[in-house]
Amino acid sequence: MKNLLLLTFIFVGLWGHNSFAEISSPLNGKSVRICEDQAEWPPIIFHKRESGNKVKPLTADGISVDIIDAIFEMYGLNHPPIQLLPWQRILLDLEKNNKTCDMVIEGTFSQKRLEKFLLTNSYISLNGNYFYSKNKYPSGLIIKDYTELVKYKICGIHGWNYSVFQVPNWEKKIDRGSKNIPALMRKLHLGRCDVFLSRIEIFAGFAITEKNYLSDKNLRYSPVLGIKIDPVHMMISRKYEHAYTLKGIIDDGLKKLKESKKLEEILDKYIPRR
C-alpha cells in the first residue's frame, strides 16, 4: 500500500512538473512581440523617465510591464523591447494582420474586444468617474447614476473604450474627437461638452509623468454610480499561432503572482493607497 501511494505521488509530481514545462514549450526559444499605446495610460503603461525626462529610446514602464516581465521570467520566456505605437494601429494589427504585434499588455473589457482578441484574466480593476467643469457648473453637478449620463453631452478620447459606463449606443453618443487628455480638457472648459468619462486611477496616475491633471482648479469629478468596476486584461491576437498557449501561461502566471502576493506588491508600487 505504501509503495502504491509512493508511486502515485511520484506520478502526480512528475505530471504536474511536465504540465508546467509543456505549457510553454511551443514558445521555447521564441520572442513574443508586445506593443503598447505611445500615448501613455499611467500607472498601467507609460514612458520610463529619469530626472523627469523620458528615457531615449522610449521605454515602456508601469504596472503591466512589471507583471508581464515577472510572468515571462517565471516561465523562461522573453520579449524584445515593447513597441510604443499609435493605439488604433496596434488594434488593427492584432485583429487583421499579426505582422507587428502578438499582444498588448493592457486593455479594458468590451464585448467587441472579446470577439476580436483573446483576453487574459484581469490583473486590476478601475473605477469610472464623470468629470465636469466648474466654469459650466459652478454649484456642482450631481449625476445620480449611470442611467442619467444619456441626458448630457459627453466627450471622450479617440480609441478609448467606454462600454463600462453603459451609455446606450456609446460609440455614437460619445464625442471621441479628442486625441489626448489636454485636448479633452480644453473641450470641456470651452463648454463643447457637459462631461467626460474616465477612470480615476488613470487620471491620477498621470502625476507619475509630471502631468497632474487633477490639480486643475476648474475640474471637478464624481464616481459614476451603478456601474461595475472596470477590469484590465492583456489582449492577444487571435491570429498569433501560439495565442491559446500564451493565454494559458499568462493566466497561470497571474494566479501565481496573486498567491505569492507579488501582484499586490507590484500594484502597491504604483498605487500605494488602493
Domains and CATH numbers, the chain: 25-123+232-270 (3.40.190.10), 128-223 (3.40.190.10)
d(CA 93, CA 91): 5
User: What distance lies between CA 219 and its chain's CA centroid?
Assistant: 24
Give the model's pLDDT for residue 14.
37
pTM of the model: 0.85
Give the model's pLDDT for residue 20.
46
**Element of type H or E holding 192:** none
d(CA 74, CA 116): 28
pLDDT tens by residue, 102-115: 999 999 999 999 99
Alpha-carbon distance values, 233 to 63, 106, 120, 157, 245 (Å) = 12, 5, 6, 20, 16
Alpha-carbon distance values, 111 to 117, 246, 248 (Å) = 10, 21, 21
8 A C-beta contact, residue 43 and residue 63: yes
Residues of the chain with pLDDT under 50: 1-21, 274
The closest alpha carbon to 49, from 274, 224, 209, belongs to 209
Give the model's pLDDT for residue 26.
83
Between vectors from CA 34 to CA 32 and to CA 37, what angle results, nearest 5°? 175
β-pairing verdict for 154-157 and 219-223:
unpaired
Give the model's pLDDT for residue 97.
86
β-pairing verdict for 219-223 and 128-133:
antiparallel
d(CA 195, CA 191): 9
Q: Which set of grid coordinates corresponds to residue 206?
A: 498621470
Give the model's pLDDT for residue 250.
97
d(CA 157, CA 164): 15
Give the model's pLDDT for residue 23.
56
